[in-house]
Structures are given as C-alpha cells and as structure tokens.
Amino acid sequence: MEIKTRFTDSLGPSAIRAITTMINAKTAAGIAVTSFAGGMPAKEFFPLKELREITENIFDNEDGQVIQYAPSTGYEPLKRTLADFMKRFQVNTTSENIQIYEGSTQALSYITRAMLTDGGAVVVEDPSYTGALDIFRSYRAEIIDVPMDDDGLNMEMLENALKSHDVKFIYTIPDFQNPSGRVTSVEKRKKMVELSEKYNVLILEDAPYSLLSFSGNVFPAIKSFDKDNHVVYIGSVSKIIAPGMRIGWTVGSKLFTQQMVYIKMIDDLQVNNLSQRQVFHYLSEYDVDEHLETVRKVYGHRRDLMVEAVRESFPEGTKVVVPEGGMFLWLELPEKYDTEKLFEPVFNENIAFVPGSKFYAAPGRSLNCMRLNFATSNEAAISEKVRRMGEIIASLK
Amino acid sequence: MEIKTRFTDSLGPSAIRAITTMINAKTAAGIAVTSFAGGMPAKEFFPLKELREITENIFDNEDGQVIQYAPSTGYEPLKRTLADFMKRFQVNTTSENIQIYEGSTQALSYITRAMLTDGGAVVVEDPSYTGALDIFRSYRAEIIDVPMDDDGLNMEMLENALKSHDVKFIYTIPDFQNPSGRVTSVEKRKKMVELSEKYNVLILEDAPYSLLSFSGNVFPAIKSFDKDNHVVYIGSVSKIIAPGMRIGWTVGSKLFTQQMVYIKMIDDLQVNNLSQRQVFHYLSEYDVDEHLETVRKVYGHRRDLMVEAVRESFPEGTKVVVPEGGMFLWLELPEKYDTEKLFEPVFNENIAFVPGSKFYAAPGRSLNCMRLNFATSNEAAISEKVRRMGEIIASLK
C-alpha cells in the first residue's frame, strides 16, 4: 500500500502552473503554443550578454567560496545595493532591513507561514494573483476578498473587513495589479497605512511590476508612508532582470527580517550564491534604466497591438481595462460568455490564456473575464493569435 | 506597536547556523576562525574550473530561455542523469520518480510539511542532524529518538516506537551518519524496509555522504530494497560537487513526486535554471569519480590527522569514533566535561566546534560529547588547532 502525504490530498496544481504544464507537454511534442497565459517576461530582452560577462568575472575573481555554504542572511553587497534601489520607490532603508529569497514567491510563502501558523484571515484584492491565493489556501487561511475601485481597494469595505475579522495581513499589489492592471492611488496608499496602524495589521506590498510603467512614472511605495513597521515590501528581479535568477527580497523591520532569516535557516539554509552575485553586479555596474526603457517601450507597444486586436475581433460589448504598465490585459466579455469553457477550444488551436475565475478566492466569479499577457509574445503573434481567438469565440456562439 | 510573526516567537536560530553567524561576525571583523563546526566541504577541491567552462558553454549555446521561468518539475536532462546516478546505490529508477529542490534541506522541509500538516510523530536516530531536528520542531512534530547501535538504529526499539506512536516517517542517515559517523548495516537496511511495510510508515533516507567512503565501498541504499514505495531517498550535490549549487533531489513514487511538484508550485515555483544545468553538465560530461577520489583521499588523511591530534591532546578517557567516511568525528569526553561550557573559552581563541547536545531532540543529552568536522580545515590547521583545543580543555579542569 502506497503512503500518501496529507498536505496535498486535496490539493491540485496551481492554476497557472497547470496551464504551463499543458503548454510544456505540447512544446515537448513539437507543437508551438502562443501563450498569453503565464507571467513570463519577454526573454528576447533579457540582458544575457551582460550576465555572461558578469559570471565570467565572478569566476575570474573569486575562489571556491563562491560555491561554498553562505550566510542565511544573504549576500551583503546585494542587500546594500537593494537598500539603495529602494530609493526609486521613496523608501529609505538599510541592508539590515532586507532579506533575500529564491524569488519573491518564496518571500510570500515564508511570511504566510510565519503569520498563519495558528490560522487567521488575510485580506486580498478582488481579483488577485492566483499564486498568492494558492499560498494562502495551502496554509488554510480564511481569505477575505475586498472589492477594488479603479484606484485600488475600496477603503470602506477594507475597514469593515478589518473590524470584523482577525486579519493577519492585507495582501496588495499596488502597481499595475495582477490581473486587473489597476494602480492604487497615493491617497489610498496613505489611507491603507493609517488603517494598518489603527487595526494593528500588517500590509504585504507585492511590487514586481512597479518599474514597468509605460510613462516612466514610478509611484511611491506604500512602504514609503510606513512609520511604525506595519508594511513589508516584497520586491523581485523577475520582471527587472529575469525570472531565472530566482531573486526576491523583503524590506521590513529588523525584527521581521531576523524572523525571516530564522525561517530560511530552517527551510533551505540560504539563497544561491552565484545568482545573488549576478544580480548584485548587474544592478550596481550596468545601466538597468536603459534596459528598463527598452522593455517599457516594447511592452507598451505590445499592449497597444493587443488592445487593437481585441477591439477588432472580440465579441461586441467586451470591456478592456487598458493598463498604464505591467504585463496584463484584463478583459470582460459580455455576461453570456464563460471563459473556463472557452479555454479548451482556444487551447486546441494552440493558444493559451487564463480564465478570469482563477483570480478569485471564491469559485464561479467573473466567469466572463480573462487575463491576457501582452509581454511574452512578439508583435506578429499578438496581432494574429488574438484575432484568431476572436474568431474561435465568435464561432462558438 | 510592531507586529510580531507567530511562527518564530518561540524560535531561535538553528544551532549550527547560529555558530556560523558568530564565525561570520569574527571573519567580518578581520579575525580568522578555524571552524570544526559547520558541515562545510573543503572548498579548495571544488571543481571551479570545470564549472566555469560549463557555464560559458551554457551561455554560448542557449538563449534567454536559460533565465526564463521554467517548469516546477525541474530540468528533465538533470533528472535523467540523476536517475542514472542512482545506479551507484543499486537503485533502479526513472526521471518520473525524481524531483529537484534548492538543496536537500528544502526536500526535507517539503516532505515534513506534506506529512505533518495535521501533526504526528517522527522517529529520528539518537543523535541526529540538527538541521532535520529544527525542521521537525518547526512543524511541531512529536520527535521520538531511537537509540543507535554501532550498525544503525536498534531494531527492537524502533519497532516499539512504531507500535506505540502515530509515526509519519522514520528519518535516517544510513551512511557515515551525522554526527556519529556510523554506517547502517545492509541487514538492518533490509529490516527497516520490512518494518516500514509492516507498520505502513515512510522511511526518509538522507544520503549526502554516501560517496565520501574512504575505502571507496558504496553501500546499497535502503531505497534499493524498497518494493512497495515506502522509502524516499534524499540526495544532494553539496558534498559531491559543492553546496553553493543548491541542488538536492528525491527518489520516490510517482504519486509522491507529483505531490512534491505541487508544493514547489506553491512554495517557490521552480529551482534555479543555471544551477540545474551546471550540475547536469558536470555529472554527465566530467569525471566525477576522479574528483571524488581526490576528495576521499584528502578527507581520509585529514581524519587521520585529527584522530591523532585528539588522542594526543584531549583528556584521558576521551572516546573517538573513527568513521570510515563522511566529514565528522564524534568525540565522547569523560563524563565530568560539559562541551556547552567549553564552547566559549574555545571560541575565544577563535576555534569553533558543535557541542554534542545540539544533535539530540531532548535537552541535556550527551553533554560530554562534541562533533568535529575534519573536512573543511587544512592539515596544518587540524594538527595545530585541535591540539590547542586540548590545551584549553586541560587548562579548565
């Protein structure tokens, strides 16, 4: 008799990773899939040449220490560089307030583990990032979804949630939110900090897309208004450099940071040495702004092409939220459409997207919505395959 | 008011990582410390030149995909290579039974999370690896320590533990056990599999030191006797290549492997791409046996030097377990000594070791024991600093 684990008895694969697995299966079988599904940045703009050069220099200048065990606290030069990097978001901090992780998803896992060991509730934006929802579910959190206005969470409903539940933290993506593309206003950022103090609750500010602003306008982080250690900022280089680096970081109090170090000591000892050095050298010695300028221009153009293709080919009455940054287009089809049912016929023609319902804590929500990633695919694929989606949808009426 | 996390309220740093932090603080202040404490392999023998060459080739031959998001299931060529590698331990398996992690500690964390979400007991060898004990404690496991004979766990006491407790798994390090240096006999390996079937309990076989056998004699893994998916093998490249690679793996049933993939999807998405490729190329294209032969010779020689220095300089009546492989010497000083109290005066002279009590689930055990790592330090340091330890101990009588 085979022994089953308990944790995963009731657990399936995370929604987006499951779609990715289906895509990989087709790719392995030699079938090309155009994916508007995952959160993949455009790999053709990754600074591969620079990273090659950096890596050669590391091997030239360091001895075996570079692949020896290293401190759980992370690579100090990288932490100093990230502390400086935080000025972009008007956050003043030092390396003692920073911890490094194998990507920002791991940061979110550690924080959830730390805060929800004995249960409790979390507030999420409605809709929110599926990966975060999966983490919260895996720790059996009570998930309270608070509706968003165009400028961020509805503050009255947020306060009601904080009044009526034992909320451990508020999870928010203030810049070019995933999946809605919305930006939380500066006024609401300040108000959220006020509420976090009033109800003594933590805010997790997940900010992977902040620098993907098409106007170049970067907002002050919620963390920049934090006076009493009620905000933890979560950063990632996945959309700034590349996801394969697996480097994320948090900015929090010294106590919080120490607690995250303890979890790292227990959980997997340390972050990859070489990756930490690669990111350190790239951020401190190369022109990351020039790189971001290129990425912004390309993504902005791809957004335009995608919006155009949707408007031309999707069913009449489809609403498009046109985001000013990030990677995602959020579409609301007319009520009669169920995008979960559209997935299969579209995927049969080797095109992938994420049904809107995947971004909600409760089942059956926004069945007529979908998220399209405009960053990954090239211009020709966007123009052609989005129109093809429109035709498939029309043919199913 | 600052918000505290719950998980870590009662949690300190892991014992060995805490010592490492103290050492790092001295090193940062320009003070050289001779550490016999951690589990660091000898960095001067890491295959740095080969890894440099491998990494250049990767950057030459691959595009941005090498730093793009990648499957949670891990890098397929690496998994095939590891499946083949398992033949060294007489385990026949395929890539479908293998999952990759950011080091074997992460594997242990995931498995513990999977098995102990709803509580339960684990059996550990007495003494055992502190890092594993820390993981089990962090999931609030009931830890049942079963005494060891010279040839592995005492089988009667193991069976009694399985009879009387709701045991989720048995955690064992059969080869050159950490910290005792013992090897579990083939007979007991078979018996453990029998018991795991009889009581329907999982065995976690943690095997980082298997190839560090000074005689070159590699034992069949417990997993090699497993007929009914009751054993999970945990491997690591930390002692075969280098710890900074952060690559570990498990060999288990397809169901188990799928469940680990789900946890990876939720926890941190995927393992570092570049590391997986580096390890794949090193294991499949370079002479790992020649490398291991060098390491074995050096470690065997260092063990001899350390045993000699201990016998010459430590208090009369000190017992030394002389291991036939691995990295650690386990010392039993006469009863009157308390190695926790010896730590400070020895560390004041910039020498570090791990007090024996750290390797026990219960407090206050084997206070007269200590673990010394003979692998990390060079020959001169071993001969000189171990004798210095003997002098310090003598002076404290």
CB of A76 within 8 A of CB of A229? no
Q: What is the pLDDT of residue A1?
A: 56
Domain with CATH 3.40.640.10 in chain A: 68-285
Q: Is the dihedral of CA A380, A382, A383, A384 positive or negative?
A: positive
Contact A272 B246 (CB under 8 A): yes
Q: Which of B2, B5, B267 sits opposite A114 (nearest CB)?
A: B5
Q: What is the pLDDT of residue B47?
A: 96
Domain with CATH 3.90.1150.10 in chain B: 15-47+290-395
User: β-strands B319-321, A328-332: how paired?
Assistant: unpaired
Q: What is the pLDDT of residue B117?
A: 81
Contact B244 A8 (CB under 8 A): no
pLDDT tens-digit series, residues B336-357: 999 999 999 999 999 999 999 9
What is residue A220's DSSP assignment? P
Q: What is the pLDDT of residue B20?
A: 85
CB of A147 within 8 A of CB of A154? yes
Q: What is the pLDDT of residue A16?
A: 78
Q: Strand, helix or coil at A74?
A: coil
Position B243 pLDDT exceeds 70: yes
Identify the band that residue B56 occupies on the pLDDT scale cut at 50, 70 and 90: very high
Identify the band that residue B1 occupies on the pLDDT scale cut at 50, 70 and 90: low
Q: What is the pLDDT of residue A363?
A: 86
Contact A67 B228 (CB under 8 A): no
Contact A262 B8 (CB under 8 A): yes
Residues of B in contact with A261 (CB under 8 A): 13
Q: Which of A6, A268, A271 sits opposite B118 (nearest CB)?
A: A6
Q: What is the pLDDT of residue A361?
A: 87
Position B131 pLDDT exceeds 90: yes
- With helix as H, strand as E and coil as C, how does B186-227 read? HHHHHHHHHHHHHCCCEEEEECCCCCCECCCCCCCCHHHHCC
The residue ranges of DSSP E strands in B162-308, in sequence order, are 167-172, 202-206, 231-236, 248-251
pLDDT tens-digit series, residues B298-347: 999 999 999 999 999 999 999 998 999 999 999 999 999 999 999 999 99
Position B218 pLDDT exceeds 70: yes
Q: What is the pLDDT of residue A2?
A: 66
Tell me the pTM: 0.95
Q: What is the pLDDT of residue A127?
A: 94
Q: Which of A105, A241, A262 sits opposite B13 (nearest CB)?
A: A262
Rounded to whole angstroms, how far apart are CA atoms B196 and A263?
Answer: 31
Q: What is the pLDDT of residue A362?
A: 87
Contact A273 B244 (CB under 8 A): yes
Mean pLDDT of B126-134: 94
The third-level CATH classification (topology) of the domain covering A68-285 is Aspartate Aminotransferase; domain 2 (3.40.640)
> Where is B121: in which H helix or E strand?
strand B121-126
Position B8 pLDDT exceeds 60: no
Chains A, B: CB contacts within 8 A come to 251
* DSSP codes, B340-373: HHHHHHHHHTTEE-EEGGGG-SSTT-STTEEEEE
CB of A205 within 8 A of CB of A222? yes
Rounded to whole angstroms, how far apart are CA atoms B43 and B28?
Answer: 19
Position B86 pLDDT exceeds 90: yes
Residue of chain B whose Cα is closest to the Cα of A111? B5
Q: What is the pLDDT of residue A379?
A: 96
Rounded to whole angstroms, how far apart are CA atoms A168 and B3?
Answer: 10
Mean pLDDT of B164-171: 95
Closest CA of chain B from A391, distance in Å: 30
Q: Is B69-285 CATH 3.40.640.10?
A: yes
Position B9 pLDDT exceeds 80: no
**Choosing among B21, B166, B265, B282, which should be mutated to test the A contact, i.e. which has the most A CBs within 10 A?**
B265
Mean pLDDT of B274-290: 97
CB of B270 within 8 A of CB of B102? no
In the CATH scheme, what is the homologous superfamily, with its name and number, of domain A15-47+290-395? Aspartate Aminotransferase, domain 1 (3.90.1150.10)
Burial of A380 (0-12, 13-18, 19+ CB in 10 A): exposed
Q: Which of B5, B68, B230 sits opposite A242 (nearest CB)?
A: B68
pLDDT (tens place) for every residue of chain A, 397 residues total: 566 665 545 566 677 778 888 898 898 899 999 999 988 999 999 999 999 999 999 999 999 999 999 999 999 999 999 999 999 999 999 999 999 999 999 999 999 999 988 789 999 999 999 999 999 999 989 999 999 999 999 999 999 999 999 999 999 999 999 999 999 999 999 999 999 999 999 999 999 999 999 999 999 999 999 999 999 999 999 999 999 999 999 999 999 999 999 999 999 999 999 999 999 999 999 999 999 999 999 999 999 999 999 999 999 999 998 999 999 999 999 999 999 999 999 999 999 999 999 999 888 889 999 999 999 999 999 999 999 999 999 998 6
Among candidate residues A359, A382, A362, A386, the one with its CA nearest the CA of residue A370 = A359
Position B372 pLDDT exceeds 90: yes
Mean pLDDT of B107-129: 93
The mean pLDDT of chain B is 94
Provide, rounded to the nearest whole percent, the portion of chain B with pLDDT above 70.
96
Domain with CATH 3.40.640.10 in chain B: 69-285
Q: What is the pLDDT of residue B5?
A: 61
